[in-house]
Amino acid sequence: MTISLAERLAKAQDRPSGFDYLRVILALGIISGHSALICYGKVYDPGIIGGYFLRLQLMIVPMFLR
């Protein structure tokens, strides 16, 4: 049984959990990381953006899957 967003908001009295927002932000981070690989292919070098972004990507996946 799937619950719609409207039903979840009604159940939480229009005060959703912050974890819902966190999962959306983490999902967008995963999508943005993979979109660079799709656009640039094997030529893509994560070092171009900087080591911090690569570290962030490595942390996003375990946080999202938790």
pLDDT tens figures, 9-53? 788 777 767 777 888 888 888 887 778 778 877 666 656 555 666
Q: What pLDDT is recorded for position 3?
A: 83
Whether the predicted model's global pTM rises above the 0.75 cut: no
Q: What pLDDT is recorded for position 19?
A: 79
> Buried b / exposed e across 12-26, counting CB within 10 Å, b at 16+?
eeeeeeeeeeeeeeb
Q: What pLDDT is recorded for position 57?
A: 74
Residue identified by tokens 């938790």 is: 66
Cβ atoms of 59 and 28 within 8 Å: the answer is no
